[in-house]
Amino acid sequence: MSNTNSPNKNVFVCNNPLIRFFLTEIRNKNSEPLKFRSYMKEASKYLVYEALSNIEIKTKEIETPVAIAEGIEFKNKFIVAPILRAGLSMVDGIIEVLPFAQIRHIGLYRNEETLQPVEYYVKLPDAIDENTNVLIIDPMLATGGSAISAVDVFKKRGVKGSSIKFISLIASKIGVEKLMEAHNDIELYCANIDSELNEKGYIVPGLGDAGDRCFGT
C-alpha cells in the first residue's frame, strides 16, 4: 500500500498485484456482470484488509486447550455503508471479512445534468457512537459529490471523521481532492487514482457505469 504519490497523508492507494489484477479485469469492457461482480467481491476483500491495518484494537487473554494466550479484539463496532447501487457490489466481499459488521445502506444517485448527489434513502439512528468504525463503500469516486454527502450523513449523527474510512476501487484525482478538502479527517483507500473525468463526469479510463455493469442494466 502506498500513499507516497498521493496528495494527502490520509489517502492510500492499495497497489498490491492481486488488487491490480482484479482491477484490470473489472475495467475490461468485455467482463460481463457475473465476472464483474465476482472480481469486485475479491478486490473488495483485499481493499478492506488494507483499510483495517490501522484499526483500533485492544488486547485480551483467551484460554487455548493448553494455556493462556494473548489475543486482540476490535475496540469499536463496525458499520459497513454501501452507497446504492454500485456499493452493493462490494458488500459480499467485505462482510466475508467482517461478518459481525452492521450494514447500513445509503441511497444516493447523481443527477445526470448537474452531477449533484440526490439523497433518496437514509434510515439511520439520529445518533451513532462517535467511535464506531464506519466503512463507506462505493467503487467509484468521480466528482466526489456522493462521497462527501455520505460522509456528511455519518458526521451529522456524531461519528468522528477519524473513525470513517471511504473505500473505493477507482477514484479520480479531482474527486480525491474535493473529498479530502471537505473531510480532511477521514481516510480514503482505493486501488487507483485515475487522472481525468470526461464531460459527463465519468472517470477516464475508469470502468464505465459501475451500477449498470454490476446489475446488467
Provide the grid cell at 182. Answer: 471537505
Angle between helices 145-156 and 173-182 in degrees, nearest 10: 20
Q: Is 82 in the site for ligand PRP (CB under 6 A)?
A: no
Take residue 145 and report the three cell numbers written for it: 459529490
Active site residue 114: yes
Q: Considering only residues 172 through 211, tell me which ones interact with ligand PRP, judged by CB under 6 A.
A: 175, 201, 210-211
212 part of the active site: yes
Cα 159 to Cα 129: distance, rounded to the nearest angstrom: 6
String of b and e for 167-179 (b: at least 16 CB within 10 Å)? Answer: bbbbbbebbbbbb
> Does the annotation count 185 as an active-site position?
no
Which of 110, 129, 152, 157 does the annotation list as catalytic?
110
Binder of residue 145, out of ligand PRP, ligand URA, none (CB less than 5 to 8 A by kind)? ligand PRP
Binding site for ligand URA (CB under 6 A): 86, 140, 142, 201-203, 206, 209-211
Cis peptide before 37 (omega within 30 of 0): no
**Cα–Cα distance between 201 and 203 in angstroms, integer?**
7
* Nearer of residues 42 and 138 to ligand PRP, judged by Cβ: 138
- How is residue 117 written as a grid cell? 448527489
Q: Does 124 bind ligand PRP (CB under 6 A)?
A: no
Residue 110: active-site member: yes
Site residues for ligand PRP per CB under 6 A: 83-86, 108-110, 115, 117, 138, 140-147, 175, 201, 210-211
- Known catalytic residues? 110, 114, 209, 212
